[in-house]
Structure formats: structure tokens, C-alpha cells
Amino acid sequence: MKRLAFVAALALLTPILPAAASASARPRGAFTGAVAATGDGSPTDPNIAFVGRWDTGNAGGYLPEWAGAYLSTGFTGTTVKLKQRNSIDLYYSIDGGADKYLTNRTGTVDLTPTKLAAGRHTLRVSYRVVAGSYHGDAIFQGLVLDSGAATFAPARPAKLLEFVGDSITVGTTTSENALTAYGWLIGERLGARHTQIAQGGACLVTTADGCVGLEDYFLRLSSAANSPAWDFSRYTADAVIINLGTNDLAHGTHTTTFQPHYLHLLEEVRAKYPNAKIFAMETFSKRFGVQTQAAVQARAAAGDANVFYVSTEGWLTSADFTDGTHPTDAGHRKITDRLAPIIAAKI
């Protein structure tokens, strides 16, 4: 009787914990702390975070769009393998280590040819983007784990940075493409999730001769002409950093039309992310700098106190470019050194 009384008293003192939120209710890529639920490594596994814009309606698996999209998760056991539909080049990092590069891999890709120590590990995978399309077939079909092992959701950064731009933001001509571009580097330095809504040759303004204008395509899942609208409930950016205008002049956009289109893009970003800090960068070519700054000033005059013009004067020299347009690896690191503190001070 004394034991029963003790158990009853203990029950009264034990707090009732709220039920865990449904995994399906969380936007992909949103912040989650470590959870008790385990997963099987399939594309629908709620413990896998898909950062960036992913096409989750593809029958063959999940397809990353734009540059720099990646997936991350935790897993137990000693091995992890990646299931790919067809040949693809990719980068992967285990336990926060340096990214490793694999080329022309297909089927079940072994990411741990040397077994890991038994226990809990983390994984990040990013597919190599080239000129707006993936080098191969980037369909993610899931993970293969040890028998009895499972995925788990490790603690993930709460902040998300979205970089909008052209081939410079993609990281074209750098050693590891998106992974050595300033957007990726800044996200890693600030401990934030990061996306690169960018494509080689992109413009601000969509043109009849085929230039992909981010004023329009920022709102879409991908840069494909028939791309559906992006579901902005999937994640919310804390900061949006825009670097556009390098390519517009070559496609017939002049100063009289650039400014209103840039203002419209700022308005679109604000409508989708009401609380985000928005940074409008002066292009490294110095094209349309006056018009970019004027668009920021117009937003400020309209009462938006969270839009900022970023002058890039003196950031780079001719030696920091591979071809006069695209920064080298060192050039992207210089951009990171300049831009990261500006963003950090606002978010």
C-alpha cells in the first residue's frame, strides 16, 4: 500500500508534456531542434531538411532547383549511402568535415567507404550546378543506412539567408561552384542556412531574347519557363541579398527601365518576407548602381526601414576576377569578408 501511494504521488508531481508538433506541419528547411522521432532516410523522411527550393512533386524523388540547394540530416550507425536515379556529380560532408566531391555517380552511392565509429553522425549533400542546370541527374531518392539504424533531426540554424543573383552568385568559375561562392561562404560563416536563387546569365528584367529575369522568376520554383509558383510557406528568409544588373544592359535594359523594375522586385520580396532585411548590392561591374540605390531610397520613402543599399566600391581589384566578370575563389572570400559583417549587424 505504501508503494502504491508513493507511485500515485509521483504521478501527480510529473508534468504532462505537450505532444510534439506534427512533422508534416513543419516547412521543409525550417528550424527544428533534436527530436525523438526516427526516420527511414526516404525523401519524405521528416528528419531530412531540404534547404533551398526543392521540387517535391517529382515522381522519381526530390529535385533541387537553382544553385546551392542542399539537404542535411543526422543518422545513426557506421555507414550511409545515397540513392541516385542516374549519373550525377555531388558534394557531401559528414560530421561537419570538409566537403568531398564525387563525379559521375549513379545508383547506390557509398559515402562511407571507410566505416564510421558507431554512434550519431550528420550528413550534408549538395549537387553541382552548372550554368543553371545540374551536371547530371540530381534526383534524390533517399538514404541507405545500416540495419537497425535511423535518421534523426539534429539542431539546425534558426536563421536563413537568401541570395538572389546571376552567375556571380552561382559561383561560376570558382573551384567548387556554389560552395565557393560568397552566398554559401557567408551562410557558413554566420552559422545560418543559406540559399542561392541564382542562375548564370540571369538578369533583373525578363527579356524577349530569353534572359531569365529574377523580377519574375524569384516567385517561381525554378527558372524553367513553365515553372509553377514557389510556395513561400515552405520557409521564411531572415535576409535577402540581391546582386542583379550585371547582364541587363547586354539584353537591352537601360537606366530608364531598370529602376522601376528593381523597385518592383523589392516590393515582391517584401510582400513574401514581411520581416526580412533586404540588401541591394551595387554590382561589381558598377552597372545600374545609381538606379539600384534610388530604388532602395524609394522603398525607404514608402516607410520600409529594412531595405539597405550596399556599396561595393573598393571591394575587389582586377586581380580578383578570372575573366573580368567572375570573381576568383579569393575574390569571393574578399566579398564574404566585406558583406558578412554588414548582414550580421542587421539580423
How many domains, the chain? 2
**In this model, does residue 136 exceed pLDDT 60?**
yes
Once rounded to an integer, what is the mean pLDDT over residues 46-61?
93
Instruction: Indicate if 111 and 177 belong to the same structural domain.
Output: no
Question: What is the extent of the structural domain holding 131?
Answer: 29-152
Contact 202, 214 (CB under 8 A): yes
Neighbour tally for 145: CB within 10 Å: 19
- pLDDT of 2: 35
Instruction: Indicate if 115 and 181 belong to the same structural domain.
Output: no
Instruction: Indicate if 166 and 146 belong to the same structural domain.
Output: no
Q: Is the residue at 283 inside a domain?
A: yes
Which of 122, 152, 182 is where one domain is finished?
A: 152
Instruction: Indicate if 195 and 231 belong to the same structural domain.
Output: yes
- pLDDT of 59: 77
Q: Give the position of cell 571507410.
A: 114
Chain segment 154-212, per-residue pLDDT in tens:
999 999 999 999 999 999 999 999 999 999 999 999 999 999 999 999 999 999 999 99
Please state, rounded to an integer, the average pLDDT across all residues of the chain: 88
CA 115 to CA 80: how far, in whole Å? Answer: 9
- Grade residue 330 by pLDDT with cuts at 50, 70 and 90: very high
Instruction: Indicate if 258 and 191 belong to the same structural domain.
Output: yes
Strands 129-130 and 133-134: antiparallel
Residue 151, SS3 per DSSP: strand
Chain segment 84-119, per-residue pLDDT in tens:
998 889 999 999 999 999 998 999 999 999 999 999
Concatenate the DSSP letters of all residues of 47-84 into one string: TSEEES-EETT-TTSBEE-SBS-EEEEEEESS-EEEEE
Single pTM value for the model: 0.87
